[in-house]
C-alpha cells in the first residue's frame, strides 16, 4: 500500500481479519497511535482482551522477531514496535487485570540480570493479576539480591523469572541457588519462562516448572496453589 493510501485508511472500514492484519503491519512499522486505535476498535466489536493480545499483538511481535532474527529489522525499529506494543498493552492491562477474581496468592516476577526484554513478562504479570494473584513486578535486569529481598519482604507463593536471551537464561540458576542458600527455596514455587527456554532447561536449573506462555503460567500457578491448599487441608 502506498503512503498516500495508508494516510487515507479508515481502520473502521476493515473487517476483523483485515484489521488484525493491519494492526500487525502497524506494529511492524512502530505506528503506536494506529495500533492503539486498532485495538480499541476490536474492543468495541466485542473482542476479548486476551484474544486481541494473543492474535493481533503477540502474533505481530512474532513477525517482528522473525525479521529481527533474519537481519531485516534492527534494534531502533524493533524498539518502535515494542513501544507500540506497550501502548496497546496499556489499553488492555486494566481489562485483563481487573477481572474481580478472588485473591488466591502472591507472585513476585522479574526479568533476570542482563536482560531488558519485558513485554512477555508484563503479559504474564497482567494475566496473573487477572487470575487473582497480587503481583509484585520487579521490572528488568533483576539480580539475585533483588529477588531475595523481594521474597523476604513480600513472602510470595510464586516466584516468576523471565529471560529472552540465551546468554541470560543461565542466571535463573544463580537465583535459585541463592534462594537455597538463604533457606527460602522451599517457601516459593519457582516458575520460569521466555522464548529460548524449554521444560528440560527448567528442570535442569531446579525450577518447579517452565511455562511456555502467559496462559500456561496462570494454569501452572493455580495448580500449585491448589496442591498447597490440599496439603494444608489434609495436615
Residues that bind ligand B1M (CB under 6 A): 58, 61, 64-65, 68-69, 75, 78-79, 82, 114-121, 123-124, 160, 162, 164-166, 191-196, 211, 213-214, 217
Residues 57 and 89: beta-carbon distance below 8 Å: yes
The DSSP letter of residue 101 is P
- Nearer to ligand B1M by C-beta: 14 or 104? 104
- Nearer to ligand B1M by C-beta: 124 or 176? 124
Residue with grid cell 506462555, as numbered in its chain? 213
Residue 218: Cβ within 10 Å count? 19
Q: C-beta of 43: minimal distance to ligand B1M in Å? A: 19
What's the rounded Cα separation, in Å, for the pair 185 and 178? 8
Q: C-beta of 4: minimal distance to ligand B1M in Å? A: 30
Residues 105 and 158: beta-carbon distance below 8 Å: yes
Pairing of strands 105-111, 189-193: unpaired
- Nearer to ligand B1M by C-beta: 22 or 162? 162
What's the rounded Cα separation, in Å, for the pair 164 and 22? 27
Q: C-beta of 98: minimal distance to ligand B1M in Å? A: 19
User: H-helix or E-strand containing 6?
Assistant: helix 3-8
Q: C-beta of 163: minimal distance to ligand B1M in Å? A: 7
Q: C-beta of 57: minimal distance to ligand B1M in Å? A: 8
Q: C-beta of 41: minimal distance to ligand B1M in Å? A: 21
Residue with the shortest CB distance to ligand B1M: 120
- Nearer to ligand B1M by C-beta: 14 or 165? 165
- Nearer to ligand B1M by C-beta: 38 or 121? 121
What's the rounded Cα separation, in Å, for the pair 96 and 49? 6
- Nearer to ligand B1M by C-beta: 9 or 170? 170
What's the rounded Cα separation, in Å, for the pair 69 and 73? 8
- Nearer to ligand B1M by C-beta: 38 or 160? 160
The SS3 assignment for 117 reads coil
Q: C-beta of 22: minimal distance to ligand B1M in Å? A: 19
Distances (CA, A) of 92 to 49, 54, 168, 232: 6, 11, 29, 36
Amino acid at each position: 500500500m502506498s503512503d498516500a493510501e495508508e494516510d487515507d485508511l479508515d481502520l473502521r472500514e476493515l473487517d476483523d481479519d483485515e484489521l488484525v492484519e493491519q494492526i500487525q503491519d502497524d506494529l511492524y512499522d512502530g505506528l503506536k497511535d494506529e495500533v492503539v486505535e486498532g485495538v480499541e476498535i476490536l474492543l468495541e466489536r466485542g473482542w476479548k482482551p486476551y484474544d486481541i493480545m494473543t492474535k493481533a499483538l503477540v502474533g505481530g511481535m512474532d513477525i517482528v522477531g522473525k525479521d529481527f532474527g533474519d537481519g531485516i529489522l534492527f534494534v531502533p525499529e524493533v524498539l518502535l514496535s515494542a513501544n507500540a506494543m506497550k501502548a496497546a498493552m496499556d489499553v488492555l492491562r486494566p481489562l485483563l487485570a481487573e477481572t474481580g477474581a478472588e485473591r488466591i496468592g502472591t507472585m513476585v516476577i522479574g526479568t533476570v540480570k542482563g536482560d531488558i526484554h519485558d513485554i512477555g513478562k508484563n503479559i504474564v504479570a497482567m494475566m496473573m493479576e487477572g487470575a487473582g494473584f497480587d503481583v509484585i513486578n520487579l521490572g528488568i535486569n533483576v539480580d539475585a539480591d533483588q529477588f531475595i529481598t523481594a521474597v523476604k519482604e513480600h513472602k510470595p507463593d510464586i516466584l516468576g523469572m523471565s529471560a529472552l536471551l540465551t546468554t541470560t537464561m543461565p542466571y535463573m540458576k544463580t537465583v535459585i541457588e541463592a534462594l537455597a542458600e538463604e533457606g527460602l527455596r522451599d517457601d516459593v514455587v519457582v516458575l520460569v519462562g521466555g522464548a529460548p527456554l524449554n521444560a528440560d532447561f527448567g528442570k535442569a536449573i531446579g525450577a518447579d516448572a517452565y511455562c511456555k506462555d502467559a496462559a500456561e503460567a496462570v494454569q501452572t500457578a493455580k495448580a500449585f496453589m491448589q496442591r498447597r491448599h490440599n496439603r494444608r487441608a489434609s495436615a
